[in-house]
């Protein structure tokens, strides 16, 4: 394959045409400044002419209802991200326009990229509008402008792109240094990912954040009120108190329950009236008379859910890593059982979760119809059927068993891909030097696989912290995780505003955790 030597071509063209293209550069510069101004103007016009904003601005002072908050109306209608993006793009274009007056080639390259993405963006807009038109009922008038205008714009941008493709060499001068080129190429290649991020993650999450500041009810027509951080106050209302044990004066010892555990005094009556409930009581060992740390919260179900989720994630991800490593190494070796292992690796994971959760529900039934009980009884491990799904002490182990079954293959596949890139000759060399298989595993496989293990662990852990389907199908409201608590608050309690605040807290918790976790695992981000 031969590549065009780009830099030489550029230099030759520039040397040939020292003064040409001043007019073209001025034209391009004006075009971009115009585009930038147009974007900003469009934003301002669409905000000021928006019917909902006008309704608030022209609110009749004599009307009995109080005027809705302008900020809330603006946020609900436009959000924060989209106006900022349009404003940013506008300013960027104006800046690029002014840069082009200097006729440096870097500005030309950026203009080239901008023309390409504007073309693609307009085409996508035209396509979406076309799909929308085809989907609407035939009796509504077809809005041809919504398809034609983006198409015409796309044509214009495409022409600009092609023109820049051929002519930017003589319009612009100089040479782009290596770092500037890498920066430009990198941002160019990241634009699709960033677009996806804005559309499917940032904007929906932003709406969740806006709702979390209100008392919105789920699926209700009521106009939500702005409540500020009220929802967060009760979610974050967590306190630590020291409680002593219930003292028996006669025996001079702590009162214990039948199972031998110590009974603790409850927290102050005043706190209970405020709504605090104790979730965990942790005995403190170093006090003469037994004391314990009582962790209480205004929303004890949520705190309990966080605890359940953390325990679940820690145990299941650890087990998954060990099993997945074993699976991946087996499949990657010349071992006879590798074909079987390969099938083993895929089947649990290829069954959709909705089905596999139902399947395990069937298998874990607490009657004779549950096969797990039947097998364990046939093997004489247990005498009587166990209530896997309703016994509180068995619920978490059952959930971990199902989750490990389902997701170890995901990790195994990732690790296998990592193993395949380790050169075979490393092992041959090690074998010649007399290293045993175990030695090879710890000295070659593990260190070289470390980046892949890190990435796999990050994704599996974040997935486990968000676990939803499994707990929802198996336990309903009996055993809540962070995500199922969120769901219950939204769907069963209809508290959309509060559920949104729960979502934001979950997001923040996982974000902080992820930052620390990525550093600890030393996954290279630098």
Q: Segment 410-429, which members bind other proteins (CB under 8 A)?
A: 410, 413-414, 416-417, 420-421
Question: Can you say whether the dihedral through the CA atoms of 421, 425, 430, 434 is positive or negative?
Answer: positive
User: Binding to other proteins by residue 123, rule CB under 8 A?
Assistant: no
> Is the Cβ of residue 73 or residue 416 nearer to other proteins in the bound state?
416
CB 107 within 8 Å of CB 31? no
Residue among 48, 165, 248, 368 that touches other proteins (CB under 8 A): 368
Per-residue CA distances from 388 to 48, 261, 353 (Å): 60, 24, 19
> Is the Cβ of residue 245 or residue 415 nearer to other proteins in the bound state?
415
> Is the Cβ of residue 296 or residue 484 nearer to other proteins in the bound state?
484
Residue among 71, 128, 381, 382 that touches other proteins (CB under 8 A): 128
Residues from 483 through 512 that contact other proteins (CB under 8 A)? 483, 486-487, 490, 496, 499-500, 502-504, 506-507, 510-511
Token readout for 471 is: 């707990």
| Residues sharing a CB contact under 8 Å with residue 151, sequence separation 6 or more, in sequence order | 122, 123, 126
User: Binding to other proteins by residue 166, rule CB under 8 A?
Assistant: no
Task: Outline where 421-445 has alpha helix (H).
Answer: 424-432, 437-440
Residue among 70, 272, 354, 382 that touches other proteins (CB under 8 A): 354
Query: What single-letter DSSP state applies at residue 21?
Result: T
Q: What is the dihedral angle through the alpha carbons of 9, 11, 15, 19, rounded to the nearest 10 degrees?
A: 100
Residue among 15, 23, 186, 288 that touches other proteins (CB under 8 A): 186
> Looking at the DSSP assignment, which residues form a beta bridge with residue 295?
240, 280
Token readout for 149 is: 């205008």
Alpha-carbon gap, residue 488 to 471, rounded angstroms:
12
Residue among 27, 34, 442, 459 that touches other proteins (CB under 8 A): 459
Choices 37-45, 66-74, 221-229, 402-410; region in contact with other proteins by CB under 8 A: 402-410
User: Binding to other proteins by residue 355, rule CB under 8 A?
Assistant: yes
CB 481 within 8 Å of CB 403? no
Residue among 205, 238, 315, 444 that touches other proteins (CB under 8 A): 205
Residue among 63, 135, 258, 380 that touches other proteins (CB under 8 A): 135
Choices 238-246, 285-293, 390-398, 517-525; region in contact with other proteins by CB under 8 A: 517-525
| Residues sharing a CB contact under 8 Å with residue 333, sequence separation 6 or more, in sequence order | none
Alpha-carbon gap, residue 280 to 58, rounded angstroms:
53
Residue among 69, 99, 175, 353 that touches other proteins (CB under 8 A): 353
Residues from 35 through 64 that contact other proteins (CB under 8 A)? none
Residues from 309 through 348 that contact other proteins (CB under 8 A)? 323, 326-327, 330, 337, 340-348
User: Binding to other proteins by residue 156, rule CB under 8 A?
Assistant: no
Residue among 203, 225, 277, 291 that touches other proteins (CB under 8 A): 203
| Residues sharing a CB contact under 8 Å with residue 177, sequence separation 6 or more, in sequence order | none
User: Binding to other proteins by residue 223, rule CB under 8 A?
Assistant: no
Query: What does DSSP say about strands 247-248 and 253-254: parallel, antiparallel, or unpaired?
Result: antiparallel
Alpha-carbon gap, residue 399 to 319, rounded angstroms:
13
User: Binding to other proteins by residue 71, rule CB under 8 A?
Assistant: no
Token readout for 282 is: 């942790």
User: Binding to other proteins by residue 185, rule CB under 8 A?
Assistant: yes
> Is the Cβ of residue 19 or residue 134 nearer to other proteins in the bound state?
134
Question: 262 in helix, strand or coil?
Answer: strand
What backbone torsions phi and psi does residue 247 show, to the nearest 5 degrees? -95, 130
Interface with other proteins (CB under 8 A), residue total 112
User: Binding to other proteins by residue 469, rule CB under 8 A?
Assistant: yes
User: Binding to other proteins by residue 199, rule CB under 8 A?
Assistant: yes
User: Binding to other proteins by residue 376, rule CB under 8 A?
Assistant: no
Residue among 87, 153, 363, 394 that touches other proteins (CB under 8 A): 363
> Is the Cβ of residue 272 or residue 515 nearer to other proteins in the bound state?
515
The count of other CB atoms within 10 Å of the CB of residue 496 is: 22
Task: Report which of 194, 203, 296, 210 is spatially closest to residue 504, judged by C-alpha positions.
Answer: 210
């Amino acid at each position: 394959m031969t590549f065009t030597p780009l830099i030489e071509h550029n230099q030759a063209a520039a040397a040939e045409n020292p003064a040409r293209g001043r007019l073209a550069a001025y034209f391009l510069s004006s075009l971009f400044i115009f585009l930038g101004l147009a974007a900003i103007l469009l934003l301002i016009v669409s905000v000021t002419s928006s019917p909902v904003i006008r309704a608030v601005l022209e609110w009749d002072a004599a009307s009995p209802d109080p005027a809705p908050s302008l900020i809330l109306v603006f946020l609900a209608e436009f959000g924060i991200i989209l106006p900022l993006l349009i404003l940013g793009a506008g300013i960027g274009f104006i800046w690029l326009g002014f840069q082009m007056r200097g006729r440096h080639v870097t500005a030309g390259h950026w203009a080239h990229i901008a023309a390409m993405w504007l073309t693609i963006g307009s085409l996508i807009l035209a396509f979406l509008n076309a799909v929308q038109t085809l989907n609407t009922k035939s009796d509504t008038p077809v809005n041809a402008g919504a398809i034609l205008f983006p198409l015409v714009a796309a044509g214009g941008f495409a022409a600009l792109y092609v023109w820049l493709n051929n002519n930017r060499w003589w319009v612009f001068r100089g040479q782009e240094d290596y770092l500037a080129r890498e920066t430009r190429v990198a941002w160019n290649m990241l634009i699709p990912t960033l677009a996806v991020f804005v559309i499917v993650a940032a904007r929906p999450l932003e709406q969740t954040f806006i709702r979390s500041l209100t008392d919105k009810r789920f699926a209700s027509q009521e106009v939500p009120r702005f409540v500020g951080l009220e929802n967060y106050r009760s979610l974050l209302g967590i306190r630590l108190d020291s409680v002593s044990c219930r003292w028996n004066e006669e025996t001079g010892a702590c009162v214990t329950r039948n199972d031998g555990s110590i009974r603790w005094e409850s927290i102050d009556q005043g706190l209970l009236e405020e709504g605090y409930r104790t979730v965990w009581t942790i005995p403190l060992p170093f006090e003469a008379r037994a004391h314990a740390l009582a962790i209480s919260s205004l929303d004890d179900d949520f705190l309990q859910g966080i605890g359940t989720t953390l325990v679940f994630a820690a145990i299941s991800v650890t087990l998954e890593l060990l099993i997945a490593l074993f699976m991946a190494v087996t499949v990657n070796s010349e071992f006879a059982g590798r074909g079987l292992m390969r099938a083993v690796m895929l089947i649990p994971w290829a069954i959709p979760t909705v089905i596999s959760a139902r399947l395990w529900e069937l298998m874990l039934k607490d009657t004779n119809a549950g096969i797990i009980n039947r097998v364990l009884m046939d093997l004489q491990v247990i005498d009587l059927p166990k209530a896997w799904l309703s016994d509180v002490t068995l619920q978490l182990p059952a959930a971990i068993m199902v989750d490990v079954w389902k997701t170890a293959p995901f990790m195994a596949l990732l690790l296998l891909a990592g193993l395949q890139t380790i050169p075979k000759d490393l092992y041959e060399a090690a074998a010649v030097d007399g290293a045993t298989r175990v030695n090879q595993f710890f000295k070659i496989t593990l260190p070289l696989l470390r980046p892949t293990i890190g990435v796999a662990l990050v994704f599996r852990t974040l997935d486990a912290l968000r676990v939803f389907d499994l707990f929802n199908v198996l336990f309903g409201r009996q055993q809540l995780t962070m995500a199922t608590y969120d769901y219950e608050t939204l769907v069963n309690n209809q508290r959309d505003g509060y559920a949104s605040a729960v979502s934001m807290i979950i997001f923040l918790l996982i974000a902080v955790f992820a930052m620390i976790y990525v550093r600890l695992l030393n996954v290279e981000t630098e």
